[in-house]
C-alpha cells in the first residue's frame, strides 16, 4: 500500500487538496489538525481508500472508494475517553451509473448510527423513500478502536467489522 498525505480530498476532481509531506502530516496528527491519508494499492493505480483525521475535534473517518472514485463505504468515528468509537457506518450503491467521484448520486444509501450505550438506528434511503428502525441493548464492544499512531491505520481501515 502506498500512502500519500494532504489536507483533504477533493471528491469532484478526485485529487488531493493541499498535498502534505509525510513529516507535515505527522505534525498535524500530533497537533490534532486535519489531514487526510490516501491509500493506493500500487504505483499508478487509483486510490482505494482515505483516512481523514482531526483529533482536535475528536473526528476520524475511513472512506472506501469504488473504481469510479465514489464513496462506497464510510466509517465515522468520534473520540470518547481517549479512544475512537465507531459512530456511523454508511454504504452507498450506485446501480449501473458510471458517474465519477463527487458527481455521482447514489441509488441507495444505508446507514447505521451507534451510541456507546447500545442504541443502533438503521436508515435506508432509496430515491425519495426513507425507512428507519432502531434497536437497544446492542453490545458495542467491537465499535471501539485505539487512536492510531501516525501511519498505523491497519486496525482503523478494516473493511469487515
Q: Do 16 and 9 touch, CB atoms closer than 8 A?
A: yes
Question: What global pTM score does this model have?
Answer: 0.94
Q: How many CB atoms lie within 10 A of CB 37?
A: 25
Task: State the pLDDT at residue 80.
Answer: 98
Burial of 141 (0-12, 13-18, 19+ CB in 10 A): exposed
Q: What is the DSSP letter of 46?
A: P
The phi and psi torsions of 143 (rounded to 5 degrees) equal: -85, -5
Q: For cell 491509500, what's the residue?
A: 39
Task: State the pLDDT at residue 103.
Answer: 87
First to last CA, the chain: 20
List, for the chain, all residue ranges whose pLDDT scores fall below the cut of 70.
Answer: none
Task: State the pLDDT at residue 101.
Answer: 87
Nearest residue to 106 (alpha-carbon basis) of 76, 59, 71: 71
Task: State the pLDDT at residue 85.
Answer: 99
Amino acid at each position: 500500500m502506498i500512502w500519500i498525505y494532504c489536507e483533504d480530498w477533493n471528491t469532484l476532481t478526485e485529487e488531493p487538496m493541499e498535498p502534505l509531506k509525510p513529516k507535515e502530516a505527522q505534525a498535524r496528527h500530533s497537533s490534532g489538525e486535519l489531514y487526510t491519508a490516501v491509500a493506493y494499492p500500487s504505483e499508478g493505480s487509483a486510490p482505494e481508500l482515505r483516512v481523514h483525521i482531526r483529533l482536535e475535534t475528536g473526528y476520524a473517518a475511513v472512506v472506501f472508494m469504488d473504481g469510479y472514485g465514489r464513496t462506497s463505504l464510510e466509517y465515522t468515528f468520534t473520540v470518547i475517553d481517549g479512544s475512537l468509537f465507531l459512530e456511523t457506518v454508511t454504504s452507498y450503491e450506485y446501480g449501473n451509473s458510471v458517474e465519477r467521484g463527487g458527481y455521482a448520486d447514489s441509488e441507495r444509501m444505508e446507514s447505521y448510527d451507534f451510541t456507546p450505550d447500545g442504541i443502533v438506528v438503521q436508515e435506508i434511503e432509496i430515491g425519495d423513500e426513507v425507512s428507519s428502525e432502531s434497536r437497544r441493548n446492542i453490545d458495542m464492544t467491537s465499535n471501539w478502536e485505539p487512536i492510531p499512531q501516525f501511519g498505523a491505520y491497519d486496525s482503523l481501515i478494516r473493511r469487515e467489522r
